Amino acid sequence: MSTPALEDLLRELAPQVLGALVRRFGDFSAAEDAVQEALIDAAVQWPRDGRPDNPRGWLIRVAHRRMTDHLRSEIARRRREDTEGTHIPRDHFLSPAADAPPADVDDTLTLLFLCCHPDLTPSAQIPLTLRAVGGLTTAEIASAFLVPEATMAKRVTRAKQKIKGSRFRLPTAADWPDRLGAVLHVLYLVFNEGYTSTSGESLQRVELAAEAIRLARLLNRMLPDDHEVAGLLALMLLTDARRAARTGPSGELVPMAEQDRTLWDRAEIAEGVTLVSKALTSTDRFGPYQLQAAIAAVHDEAASDEATDWPQILALYHLLAGITDNPVTTLNQAVAELKVNGPAAALATLDRAAADDRLTGHYRIDALRAHILEAAGDQEAARTHYQKAAQSTQSPPERTYLQKKATPNP
């Protein structure tokens, strides 16, 4: 029986092993099957026989062996059927040997770029990345996208088929403009899914957020002068710094205004502030990740919610709204409006966000409306909207928090 610690380790290693196999064999679907078989073997054998000194190397060797067996069976099947034109070279699966120590190469970043192939639409890129790089199951991704599992399975399968045969390599300099935007967007979404999980019993999926940060670091090392890459990494660090304070002893949600800020990770905050400060002072063209990181930095440097420089945050949201068409930005701006200009201004901003079809039925509309009405003193209307929000969210910790807010005080 696998333990939570073992499950976390296997989830962390899975994309690295998958990347190694895709680089070696080029067959995404078959490699994914081989990796899943290796993970099952590890879940059974490691608790019984002990964890190997090099877990990643063990998984790659076992998955490589499975992949080799698959290719041999496939060639034998084709020969039996007298199929002409089999062009799988012998050394494609015999060199290096299945038992040879794997090269110490992490192919996860290359795997991320493959999942963000320009031939794929964002609706295909994101779930494929969550599956291959994030390690989410098809059922979990379907829940996050609010679609049936069968629908998501077909979407992921079509995406894998569309990139079948694509070269497994990092893009050349000429390819960066077409690929980087999609990669940053998907990394941002993977981090968000880790920071606030859309499904499951836990509010956060720490290993998913950590993997997004790790990949953003690799990207920042590759492109140290790209201000949006630095901005995204800074945003992740500044947001992740609050992780320990976001939940209580029983895993319950603790909103930022009520968090114990002594639990915030000061090292992450310092690193994030340094990154975003350099990015903002090195250019006069601000991107959305830089501005979001700047907002996060203002929050993180404040000693309390009351001491936060809300006028500066509101000004940054106005800048952000001018360069991005994202209704969530307007939602967040409504919070700053409440702090600076009061409930009436906040409700007007919220109404603009609610009018956007992309947020139809989103629980945050009702949750934020309830918060604003509560601040305005309309407790009964606030409780009604808290209850509506609780019924809409897919996250049990958020539902519990909203239901508590909807319950009248005795």
Q: Is 194 within 8 Å of 212 (Cβ atoms)? A: yes
Q: Give the pair of three-digit tokens for residue 187.
A: 């990394």
What is the per-residue pLDDT for 410? 59
Alpha helices in 342-395 (DSSP H): 343-354, 363-376, 379-392
Beta bridge partners of 253: 247
- Show Cβ contacts of residue 57 under 8 Å, excluding neighbours closer than 6 positions: 101, 102
The two most distant CA atoms of the chain are separated, in Å, by: 79
What is the per-residue pLDDT for 66? 83
SS3 call for 253: strand
Q: Would you give the DSSP letter of residue 257?
A: G
- Show Cβ contacts of residue 353 under 8 Å, excluding neighbours closer than 6 positions: 327, 328, 330, 331, 334, 359, 365
SS3 call for 358: helix
Q: Is 345 within 8 Å of 333 (Cβ atoms)? A: no
Burial of 339 (0-12, 13-18, 19+ CB in 10 A): middle
Q: Say what the pTM is.
A: 0.77
Q: Is 65 within 8 Å of 33 (Cβ atoms)? A: no
Q: Is 43 within 8 Å of 2 (Cβ atoms)? A: yes
Peptide bond between residue 101 and the one before it cis (omega within 30 degrees of 0): no
SS3 call for 107: coil
Mean pLDDT by 10 residues, the chain (410 residues): 69 80 77 83 85 87 82 63 45 37 61 84 84 79 76 89 78 74 86 78 81 88 90 97 92 92 96 95 87 97 96 96 90 96 97 90 93 96 96 89 85
Distance in angstroms (rounded) separating the CA atoms of residues 392 and 211: 29
What is the per-residue pLDDT for 85? 44
Q: How far apart are the first and last CA of the chain?
A: 45
